[in-house]
Amino acid sequence: MKLEAVVFDLDGVITDTAHYHFVAWRDMALGLGIHIDEAFNERLKGVSRLDSLRLILAHGGKADLFSDAELEAIATRKNEHYVNLLSALSPADILPGIAELLRELRQNGIRIGLASVSKNAPQVLAALGLTDAFDYCADAAKLTHSKPHPEIFLTACAGLGVTPAQAIGVEDAQAGVISIKAAGLYAVGVGSQLEGVDWLVPCTSHLTLPALLAHWADRQQN
């Protein structure tokens, strides 16, 4: 079966805004009397804004203190802080090898999708100069379920006009890998501590088109 599409996560795969997310969540949490560190922040990767907030509140023993409206307001304030932190983002912040990979995928007629739960994804892509590099971006605002549910990768495949069996998903978070596998895509993980991936690379510079195609071919034979 020919590879028809590659669907990327955003944070940690296309660019690394994880530290900005951590700073924004840390400052928000401190305002509520809750301390989180970067180790705890790992649990928030690939998780939606409201679900991240609920995890933080549970961590601080304050899970039941806020109404839905108050949760939305807190999450909105965190996001405004995060957006301000992103003001310095530029094409120089694209992770190693990714710009070249996107160009090679385009040149070879392989469709390119984005499966990010971040509602700021359009702004991040614009700052990176990559808006036109993607054929379809799943709209996080229209999704019912967050990762690890497969909805976002299924939505991306449908938007690209491919079946999950024709596509590769690329993630750096465990929740994202679970989402990819549940949706039925071939799972490529970026990092060192991901379980259940079909192919794991230590960093994005290893994500070349020849390498992707070689691993895809091996999968077809096994």
Angle at 99 between CA 95 and CA 101, to 5 degrees: 105
Start-to-end CA distance of the chain, whole Å, equals 12
Residue 159 CA: distances (Å) to CA of 11, 18, 118, 134: 21, 27, 18, 11
Is it the case that residue 7 has pLDDT exceeding 80? yes
The pLDDT-based confidence of 220 (bands split at 50, 70, 90) is: confident
pLDDT tens column, 69-104: 999 999 999 999 988 988 889 999 999 999 999 999
Q: How far is CA 130 from the centre of its chain?
A: 15
Tokens of 122: 């359009």
pLDDT tens column, 110-142: 999 999 988 889 999 999 999 999 999 999 889
3-state SS assignment for residue 20: helix
Quick one: DSSP state of residue 49?
H
Q: What is the mean pLDDT of the segment spanning 155-162?
A: 98
**Helical spans, DSSP H, in the chain:** 18-31, 38-41, 49-59, 68-85, 98-107, 121-128, 151-160, 174-183, 209-221
Residues tagged active-site: 9, 11
